[in-house]
Amino acid sequence: MFFLFLAIFSSSAIALIFKYSETSGMNRYAVTSANYFAAVLTSGMILTFKGLLIPEELNLTGALKQISRSISSNNAFISDESSFVWAVVVGLGAGGFFFLAFIYYQISVRNHGVGLSGAFAKLGILVPMILSLLFWKEYPSQIQWLGIALAIFSIVIVNWPQKKSLKNAIRLSLLLLFLFGGISEFSNKVFQKYGLQDHRALFLFMTFSVALAFSLAATINKRFPVKRRDLVTGIFVGIPNLFSSYFLIMALDKMTAAVVFPIYSAGTIVIINLVGLLFFKERLSRLEIWAVILVIISLVLINL
């Protein structure tokens, strides 16, 4: 339970630090760059200490052909050589979505508050579930279908027009956070489906490196002033961002997934909303409160 608490605390800290940075008028692109710099540095150190499993002879064409055959036949078998290439390819593709997810997380926190943004960030788990159903016929259980239905209903509630036009009612940043965050989660599933665990550190290093490249390009392009506090805050985001996954894995070693994931998802949303109310004086509308409650219930059901 101790590691589960640390995972919840780390996950909650990401949204709350974003709330602080956005209310303080910081450069969100510089914050994101510093976050991914910390991630690249840490994942690079892990690669160095663990040692990278590099194939003795790398036949790129042969590796790509085997990957193609594995995907077309839905066969999870893959060689060390192909897994190495797969980690690089998926990491290169995932980096852009990781960058966009972090940017829209910050925009959503600024526009719609930390509580609602935290709920929609966790709701992104819906995307890999749906895509896994389409690509690999991984059907949810009846309880999970109920959770999916409640999750979709919560999205409808949040975007329901209240005495305003439908165009103005749709909260685009929340929807994009949900979409890009979900695709980022799906990239983990894509690598896990065909890649070897020995190359997971390489996959993360490539993902964070591409996300850092996008972040730096956006920071330079926007030409907003970069201050020391932007970089320090970004590093402080990077620490819980990395350790939330680490503590979650540690918790899964001690407890069952059926217990860990529902408590992790629901606990994070509850803490974010409580801190948002107590320290940032955020008050949700009645519909938004119902939406958050539905998200918590749906996440518990989806993770059963």
The CA distance from 64 to 70, in Å, is 10
The reported pLDDT for the residue numbered 53 is: 61
The CA distance from 86 to 84, in Å, is 5
57, burial (CB in 10 Å: exposed 0-12, middle 13-18, buried 19+): exposed
Q: Residue 250 corresponds to which tokens in the numbers above? A: 């540690």
The CA distance from 260 to 257, in Å, is 5
Q: Residue 70 pLDDT > 50, yes or no? A: yes
The CA distance from 125 to 213, in Å, is 26
Q: Residue 47 pLDDT > 80, yes or no? A: yes
The reported pLDDT for the residue numbered 30 is: 95
CB contact at 8 A, 164 and 107? no
The CA distance from 181 to 187, in Å, is 10
Per-residue pLDDT of 105-160, as tens digits, reads 999 999 989 999 999 998 888 888 888 888 888 888 899 899 999 988 888 887 66
Q: Residue 105 corresponds to which tokens in the numbers above? A: 């997380």
Q: What element of type H or E holds 276?
A: helix 257-279
Sketch the domain layout of the chain as residue ranges.
Answer: 2-302
CB contact at 8 A, 166 and 69? no
Per-residue pLDDT of 257-276, as tens digits, reads 667 878 888 889 999 989 99
